[in-house]
Amino acid sequence: MISMIFKYEAKMLCVFSLILTCGVLPINAAEPASEPAGDINAPVIHPAAPIHDFGTTWASGPMQHSFSITNTGKVALEISRVAPACGCTTVGEYPKRLEPGKEGKFSFTLDSQKLYGVYTKLISIYSNDPHTPELKLTLKGECKHYIELTPYTGAAFGRINGNEATSRTVTIKNNTEEPLKLELRPPDAKSKFKYELVEKEPGKLFELHVTATPPLATGMVHDTVTLTTNNDKQKTVLVEVVAVVPERLEVMPNVITINTAILSTLKTNTTQTITFMTNGGPPVKVLEALVDDPAIKVGVDEQDPGKRYTISVLIPPKYVPPDTGRTVVIRIEDSEKPFILVPIRTMQAPLTPTPCSVSIGTAG
């Protein structure tokens, strides 16, 4: 009998333990820890809805939305800055100050011509709310185009040789039932690009052939070409054209920056790599690499003869360059530019190259 009583008590103990653990019955349940009280004299920025979904729209004109924000705190809310993360978002009117309990409208406009497919655009509102100094707002949706570009970014050439003609093709598709008519507006007379519009499928599919015409100056080359349409909802189509013409002889990086704080903790050499490239023109050979400090070792590795080389720079641990820095000299077989200087600097030092004490001979 006593044995049965002990078994019953043990069984009931297990049942009560299960109930308390799972929270089925609030028997002697501990109260949840309360969150630490905030500053009762602080402003509190509170958006009615931090996310707005435009849904599925067609690209036409600007799209606008105003977020409602209330100061639910006890002192004035000061808005220091409103910063969209994307250039397609324009900031409209908004209050710079909200008294306690007051509501304000923060207006924004999206350029639908710059939206493609599913998008999410973030906006940051900076204020003196100590708990939310940066409030994130979101505009999202899906934007379809009556007239669709592929690629939607336009004619992006990337890096090209400024002395060679290079072409790109942009496909233009009509997403409506009405046959499309396109006309190419004459580009600026100073444009470095030539354009040809070809109708591939009548009223439905077109190709815009874009050719970069040499010679092109070093740097970024940009143009915008306009196509006029018979679509009342999208009267024009803008095609952005961008190309980058690098230097004929190029090194990356053009400065080696040393973090002495990190170097002081290391026990082995640190290797920095410089890449030398020729971008067009005749091949250029790297003859040697030198440095004006015997503590630093350099080596040259030929990746593609006359076109691409890597220079390894071995920096010993705990190395600290002088205030004037050090310089890596890359001697090359080129009559116009027989050598290239790559300065070595600490993170705090100026990045202006200084004269190098390395003896530089002539190519041969």
Lowest mean pLDDT, pick from 85-89, 165-169, 175-179, 297-301: 85-89
Q: Which of 321, 160, 173 has its CA nearest to residue 246?
A: 160
pLDDT at 45 over 90: yes
DSSP 47-114: ES-SEEEEEEEESSSEEEEEEEEEE-SSS-EEEEEEEESSTTEEE----SEE-TT-EEEEEEEEEGGG
Q: Is the dihedral of CA 49, 50, 56, 58 positive or negative?
A: positive
Domains in the chain with CATH codes: 45-144 (2.60.40.10), 147-245 (2.60.40.10), 249-346 (2.60.40.10)
Q: Residue 33 pLDDT more than 60? A: no
The residue-averaged pLDDT of 24-48 equals 60
Q: What is the pLDDT of residue 104?
A: 97
The yes-or-no verdict on residue 174 having pLDDT over 80 is yes
Buried b (16+ CB within 10 A) or exposed e, 259-277: eeeebeeeeeeeebebebb
pLDDT at 267: 86
Higher pLDDT, 24 or 171: 171
- Amino acid identity for residue 19 in this structure: I
- Which bin fits 66, alpha (ψ -120 to 50), beta or left (φ > 0)? beta
Joined tokens for residue 22: 């799972």
pLDDT category at 97 given cuts 50, 70, 90 is very high
Task: Tell me the pLDDT band of 5, cut-offs 50, 70 and 90.
Answer: very low
- Whether the predicted pLDDT of 15 surpasses 70: no
Residue 321 preceded by cis peptide, ω within 30: no
- Is the pLDDT score of 36 beyond 50? no
Mean pLDDT score, 26-42: 49
In the prediction, which pLDDT does 40 show? 74
Closest C-alpha to 246, from 220, 209, 281:
220
Tell me the per-residue pLDDT of 304-329, one tens digit each, with 9 for 90 and over. Answer: 999 999 999 999 998 988 989 999 99
Q: Tell me: pLDDT of 19 over 90.
A: no
pLDDT surpassing 80 at residue 35: no
Which token pair is 317?
A: 């641990």
Higher pLDDT among residues 164 and 347, named by residue: 164
Distance CA 303, CA 305 (A): 6
Name which of 14-18, 182-186, 240-244 the model is least confident about. 14-18
What are residue 25's phi and psi, to 5 degrees? -120, 135
Strand 236-245, strand 270-278: pairing: unpaired
Confidence class for position 348, pLDDT limits 50, 70, 90: low
4, pLDDT greater than 60: no
Tokens for 289? 């690499």
Q: What percent of the chain has pLDDT over 90?
A: 71
Residues 6+ apart with CB under 8 A from 8: none
pTM: 0.63
Beta-carbon count within 10 A of 225 CB: 23
Q: Identify the DSSP state of 302.
A: E
Q: Residue 323 in contact with residue 276, Cβ under 8 Å?
A: no
- Distances 113 to 13, 91, 142, 145, 223 between C-alpha atoms, Å: 69, 17, 12, 8, 17
Q: What is the pLDDT of residue 38?
A: 54
Instruction: For residue 263, give the H/E element and its range.
Output: helix 260-263
Q: What is the per-residue pLDDT for 200?
A: 97
Count CB neighbours of 163 within 10 A: 13
Q: How many CB atoms lie within 10 A of CB 141?
A: 19
pLDDT tens, residue by residue, 119-134: 999 999 999 999 999 9
pLDDT band at 343; cut points 50, 70, 90? very high
Q: Look over the chain and give the mean of its residue pLDDT values, rounded to a whole number.
A: 86
Flag whether pLDDT at 111 surpasses 60.
Answer: yes
DSSP, residue by residue, 4-36: HHHHHHHHHHHHHHHHHHHTSS-TTPPPPPPPP
| Ranges 28-42, 267-281, 319-333: which has the least confidence | 28-42
Q: What is the reported pLDDT for 109?
A: 96
pLDDT at 265: 85
